[in-house]
Homo-oligomer: A and B are copies of this chain.
């Protein structure tokens, strides 16, 4: 099975089309290292016996043992294991494991290409299965490019002044299609090998040019990755820590008339399936969020509990109640994911689809509480997070002794551990990383309002009205 080292080496060979800080760079640029390290965890996990039960799956195509990040879920148990894997790996990097993007797209495509073919006699599923075989065999890293630029939010794709504001087909050739547009917020695109593009919303019959899905290598001609990278403030070697090596990069991915060969085109005009694909990816991705968001809360909870202990208030009842709040956020979300797997359904394609309501109430709950989580952490950590002296002063020959003297709190915690604890919390709170965690917590995978829409589009409210009508003696 391909290893992290293989992945890093292959990445380095890609054509430099990453634009960052005024330069165009290759995948070996140091600003991408922190993101690559996180994806690397998904390869390292292959070596860890403690993770064997979750990181490996059996391919339904080849019966080979594969990395679960390339697997199409066949059973409830697959969904439960994917959820658990996501939580465990996110705990290791203290945030988003990122690689779920690709696999959630792949699962959605496995259903939609099949369903489209059934109705339209297209052959998308055959192409997709061929792609999937390679994807699994090579243990490939794919990102999902979904969010369009979208322009004026009150207008549909075909109503925009600039039609490119949603990615679209500008030319149809015998051997493929040419696409133009941009996809925003593409987490991990700068170190993905494949970019899997899918629509972002429901489409009307007159929007067939926008009903397009495909997968292409990330350095395909015409693709430019306008990149922003986020990681914590660098540390001095004496105070180094794993957190310092993790981060992420997102891109605005530009498709400047990119040719996609037919064997990589998975949808090209079937508007009904375009909308369904958008929704189904969101569903798989929200199920992944029932794994990753609890891990983020685990981080917040561990940080809150640790800093409370270091502040000498670990046994207070108010701390207990606030930790219980955090546990509740994590476990209500995770529990909803379990329920979504338990109540999942088999699709004729063989792919397992998690329950819509439970995925959405779970993701929504997490999204509605990320700021509350930060508030609790802030409350328990205290103001020092915002005024913490820098590493350089902590280690300074002139003032280090004072910093170390005055940072001490309870006797049995060393100044260094005290400092490391505050430093880590400062890294995830008083920093761009903190802002990203907050924004991703709300908007990543769809904002709470998107989940409200998904829930109310599915939920049987009429049945509930019926309960009330019966009790009230109302006859229609």
| Interface positions of A (Cβ within 8 A of B) | 19-22, 24, 91, 94, 147, 149-154, 161-162, 164-165, 182, 184-185, 224, 226-228, 230, 239-243, 250-252, 254, 256, 298-299, 301-303, 305-306, 309, 311-313, 317-318, 320-321, 323-324, 327-328, 331-332, 334-336, 338-340, 342-343, 357-358, 361-362, 364-365, 371-372, 374-375, 378-379, 382-390, 392-393, 396, 398-399, 402-403, 405-411, 417, 420-421, 423-424, 426, 429-432, 434-436, 438-440, 442-444, 447, 449, 451-453, 455-456, 459, 461, 463-476
Contact = CB atoms under 8 A, between A and B. Distances in A.
Contacts of A438: 374, 378, 429-430
B465 A152 contact: no
A250 B386 contact: yes
Contacts of A252: 387, 389, 402-403, 406
B153 A320 contact: no
A472 B422 CA distance: 9
Contact of A336 (B242, B313, B335, B396): B335
A408 B151 contact: yes
Contacts of A338: 335, 338-339, 342-343
A241 B471 contact: yes
Contacts of A309: 465
Contacts of A424: 468, 471-472
Which residue of A303, A328, A411 has the most chain B CB atoms within 10 A of its CB atom?
A: A328
A461 B20 CA distance: 37
Contact of A432 (B19, B154, B227, B432): B432
Contacts of A474: 417, 420-421
A362 B320 CA distance: 18
A392 B431 contact: no
A338 to B, nearest CB: 4
A239 B26 CA distance: 27
A323 B461 contact: yes
A94 to B, nearest CB: 5
> How many copies altogether?
4
A201 B107 CA distance: 50
A327 B455 contact: yes
Given A312-B154, A342-B342, A452 B408 contact: no
A386 B439 contact: yes
Given A430-B436, A461-B323, A467-B298, A240 B473 contact: yes
A305 B461 contact: yes
A103 B435 CA distance: 33
Given A374-B438, A409-B151, A384 B19 contact: no
Given A22-B392, A456-B320, A153 B468 contact: no
5 contacts: A20-B392, A91-B467, A151-B410, A165-B406, A421-B474
Contacts of A420: 472-474
A25 to B, nearest CB: 12
Nearest to A338: B339
Contacts of A388: 228
A90 B406 CA distance: 32
Central interface residue in A430, A440, A466, by most chain B CB within 10 Å: A430
Q: Which of A182, A389, A439 has the most CB of B within 10 A?
A: A439
Contacts of A431: 431-432, 435
B386 A440 contact: yes
Contact of A371 (B317, B372, B439): B372
A166 to B, nearest CB: 11
Nearest to A408: B151
B332 A365 contact: yes
